[in-house]
Amino acid sequence: MQFPRLFSSITINGMTLKNRAVMPPMGTGYGNTDSTVSDRLVAYLSRRAQGGAGLIITEVCAVDPRGKGFPNEIGIWSDAFISGLARIPDALHHFGAKVALQLHHAGRETFEDATGAIPEAPSAIPSVILGQPCESMSLERIAQIIEAFAKAAGRAKAAGFDAVELHGAHGYLLNQFLSPFSNQRDDKYGGSDENRMRFVLEIIAAVRKEVGKDFPVWIRVSADELVRGGYDLSFMQKFAPMMVAAGVDAIHCSVGIYSTPGGLSVASMDTESGFNLFRARALKDVVSVPVIGVGRINNPEVADQAIARGDADLISFGRQHLTDPDFINKAYNGDLDDIRWCTACNQGCIERLSFEMKSIACSFNPECGNEYKGQHPKVDHAKRVWVIGAGPAGLSAAMAASARGHEVEIFEKEEKPGGQLLSASRPPHKSAFRDWVTWSLRQLKKSSVPVHCQHMISKEEIKQHMPEAVILACGAYPVTPSISGLDSEIVVDARDVLTGKVNLKSPAVVLGAGYVGMETADYLLSKGIAVTVLEMQAFPPVGKLTAHGYWLHKRIKTAGGRLLFGAQVTGILTGDVRYCQENTERMESAAMIVTAMGAKSDNSLEEALKNLTIPYKIVGDAKSPRRILEAIHEGHKAGEKI
């Protein structure tokens, strides 16, 4: 047993867990629009429970319709919800997991389309991020919500959940009451620390009274809000023992709120694994109940060590459960090489939920959220399938087609498989993107799918071999607009810079401030190269609202990189980049000019396939240049259906 601490059992108020691995709450958007539990949600959660975690905490579940954070958040504000919710513990207990329901009220961090009314909050201060107007809660309304939490906990118990978690973190209603940042009341619920703590303590007491002393109840907190004017860790150290005295059996120690710079509640790849454990430790120092640590932990080794050091008693693995639902069992069995790692890219999960208003997915796991559809059966007739291109789309397609029983071969013109992931994994903090390639190749090897590298497929070769089906996953190649001087020998492509194909020279001018340009600038600065980025658009194409965008801007600025917007490049002449900004001609000298100005799909083989009447599918960037998510998901679907 490699991780003895992680795989030891623990008991929380009579609830014994088989191990200390927790799946923390993650809103999915899989619930029905009437806030009832869907087949999709049950299938998704069951798949995670099957993967081995001792404790699964469901996503947010609204105690009041006005507390919903997104339109299809599940709810528990009436007895009518009990039977539907009961499907969750019924299904998950089968796998030996204990199940807690997270009770939630979003307060001001929501919008009218979700709540059906103006959001309510301790004070009428709109959310900094969402900007929606909100109403201050009356004393009567506060009493109703305290009651709603208590009744909801009773219903969760009746539905067969093993425990409830109160959502006191991430800037939602309970957190809003605690914080001088969002609570500026002048009655008994605002002002002093003691007054701001009152609402949460009254909820804990009411919940405890409702469920009795033997039912596990705990709270999730943001140990530090990390915003100017908010509370900090010392406040939470003072408050934690008071919550225990009021009746909680454990504390789940998260961090940050919506306005925290750099999105630390769901920390991106830019943040160190286990960065928040010291706060869990600080809470453990002041309470005797178990503390659950969380924050960018996907490695069982990090978790095991954290428990060994006494930083936390249990460890939550959030997004890792989306990327690989089986990873706890794999860790238990020592199959670490088989784990598909979460990259903390946030693109498929939290950013889809928060910014795109879509249900969650995982960029790297096309099956996440599709569990309810079941597996495709093996085919009766195995086809000879050619996959052209070994980028994420091609590798994903090959895995899916081979799983259905087809005879698959992959062809890649470059020396190594991986496509653009070979360059995408080179900027600082992005090496995990490469791990997915390693993982895929391992899966393909296990299925005996050959990957032929340095083998460029031509139409002649297709005609000669006539495969029965083809998946075109040729990706995209970089393009540049017609600017005079771009053929100069000091002009290089960002991908070639990142993969080490060119010698770096300083100073560098990067043309284009999309993700590729920004990450290349970040990479060059990390190598000590002076960088100026010129971007035609007046505003940064990579915003600071996403966690990765925030950290990219911060690192580039800190390292002395210059970002110039509204800068239209007009020509390159003997090492000088000429550009027009604010109607003025300007110039920037460069020893190296790096282009990152977009890409164009490579679907040059399509015509031949049409003429030869070979069934084919075009996937990923070859269809249109987009992201890893689209490449992996489209590849998977094509492979399943071919």
Ligand X SMILES: Cc1cc2nc3c(=O)[nH]c(=O)nc-3n(C[C@H](O)[C@H](O)[C@H](O)COP(=O)(O)O)c2cc1C
Residues designated as active site: 172
Shortest Å, Cβ 393 to ligand FAD: 3
Q: Dump the DSSP string for 132-164.
A: ---EEPPHHHHHHHHHHHHHHHHHHHHTT-SEE
Angle formed by the axes of helices 139-158 and 193-211, nearest 10°: 30
Among 103, 114, 145, 349, binds ligand X (CB under 6 A): 349
* Residue 294 binds ligand X, judged by CB under 6 A: yes
**Closest among 637, 20, 26 to 342, alpha carbons compared:** 26
User: What is the greatest pairwise CA distance in the chain?
Assistant: 82
- Quick one: 17 exposed, middle or buried, by C-beta within 10 A (0-12, 13-18, 19+)? buried
Of 524, 457, 473, the C-alpha closest to 632 is 473
CA distances from 287 to 140, 207, 249, 283, 530 (A): 33, 20, 10, 6, 49
Among 12, 21, 22, 26, binds ligand X (CB under 6 A): 26
Per-residue burial over 510-543, b if 16 or more Cβ lie within 10 Å, else e, is: bbbbbbbbbbbbbbbbeeebbbbbbbbeeebebe
Query: What is the closest distance, in whole angstroms, from the C-beta atom of residue 517 to ligand FAD in the complex?
Result: 9
Q: Which of 121, 200, 221, 350 binds ligand X (CB under 6 A)?
A: 350
Partner that binds at residue 266, options ligand FAD, ligand SF4, ligand X, none, CB closer than 5 to 8 Å by kind: ligand X
Is 546 a binding residue for ligand SF4 by CB under 6 A? The answer is no
The dihedral sign for the CA sequence 118, 114, 342, 330: positive
Residue 615 in tokens: 């069934």
Contacted entry of ligand SF4, ligand FAD, ligand X, none for residue 297, CB cut-off 5 to 8 Å set by kind: ligand X
Nearest to 3 by CA among 26, 19, 14: 19
Q: Which two tokens stand for residue 518?
A: 């920004």
CA angle (365, 641, 624) in 5-degree steps: 65
From the list 119, 168, 295, 366, which residue makes contact with ligand X (rule: CB under 6 A)? Answer: 295
Give the up-direction half-sphere exposure of residue 219: CA atoms within 13 A in the CB hemisphere.
30
Give the residue, chosen from 12, 349, 462, 618, that forms a contact with ligand SF4 under the rule CB under 6 A: 349
Q: Which is nearer to ligand X, 169 or 536 (CB)?
A: 169
Site for ligand X in 353-392 (CB under 6 A): 353, 360
Told to check if 359 binds ligand SF4 by CB under 6 A, we report no
Selected range binding ligand SF4 among 100-108, 175-183, 211-219, 317-325, rule: CB under 6 A: 317-325
Q: Which positions from 100 through 119 interact with ligand X, judged by CB under 6 A?
A: 102
497/590 Cα distance (integer angstroms): 15
* Packing angle, helices 515-526 and 547-558, rounded to 10: 40
Contact residue for ligand SF4 among 208, 220, 279, 319 (CB under 6 A): 319
Which residues 6+ apart lie within 8 Å of 262 measured at CB? 268, 270, 271, 547, 550, 551, 554
> Which positions lie near ligand FAD, rule CB under 6 A?
345, 347, 388-394, 411-414, 419-421, 423-424, 456-457, 473-476, 494-495, 498, 515-516, 519, 602, 620-622, 626-629, 631
Q: Could you say which of ligand FAD, ligand SF4, ligand X, none residue 24 binds, taking C-beta under 5 to 8 angstroms by partner kind? A: ligand X
Q: Which of residues 256-275 bind ligand X (CB under 6 A)?
A: 265-267
Nearer to ligand X, 294 or 518 (CB): 294
Q: Which does 296 bind (CB under 5 to 8 A by kind): ligand X, ligand FAD, ligand SF4, none?
A: ligand X
Joined tokens for residue 412: 């890649």
For ligand SF4, which residue of 239, 364, 439, 616 counts as binding (CB under 6 A)? 364
220 binds, among ligand X, ligand SF4, ligand FAD, none (CB under 5 to 8 A by kind): ligand X
Task: Name the binder of 323 from ligand SF4, ligand FAD, ligand X, none, CB < 5-8 A by kind.
Answer: ligand SF4
CB of 633 to ligand FAD, least distance (A): 11
Q: Would the CA dihedral through 559, 560, 564, 568 be positive or negative?
A: negative
280 binds ligand SF4 (CB under 6 A): no
What is the DSSP annotation of 392-445? Answer: HHHHHHHHHHHHTT-EEEEE-SSSSS-TTHHHHTSSTT-THHHHHHHHHHHHHH
| Token reading at 239 | 């408050």
Cα separation, 176 vs 180, whole angstroms = 8
CA–CA separation, 283 vs 293, rounded Å?
Answer: 10
Decide which of ligand X, ligand SF4, ligand FAD, none touches 419; Cβ closer than 5 to 8 Å per partner kind.
Answer: ligand FAD
Please tell me whether residue 255 binds ligand X under the rule CB under 6 A: no
Residue 29's binding partner out of ligand SF4, ligand X, ligand FAD, none, with CB under 5 to 8 Å set by partner kind: none
167 binds ligand X (CB under 6 A): yes
The one of ligand X, ligand FAD, ligand SF4, none whose footprint includes residue 348, by CB under 5 to 8 A per kind, is ligand SF4
What's the min distance (Å) between Cβ of 544 and ligand X?
19
Strands 407-411 and 451-452, how do they pair? parallel
CB of 212 to ligand SF4, least distance (A): 37
In whole angstroms, the minimum distance from the beta carbon of 491 to ligand X comes to 40
- Sign for the CA dihedral angle at 169, 173, 174, 179 comes to positive
Return residues touching ligand SF4 (CB under 6 A): 319, 322-323, 342-349, 362-364
> Rule CB under 6 A: which residues touch ligand X?
24-27, 59-60, 102, 167, 169-170, 220, 254, 265-267, 294-297, 316-320, 349-350, 353, 360
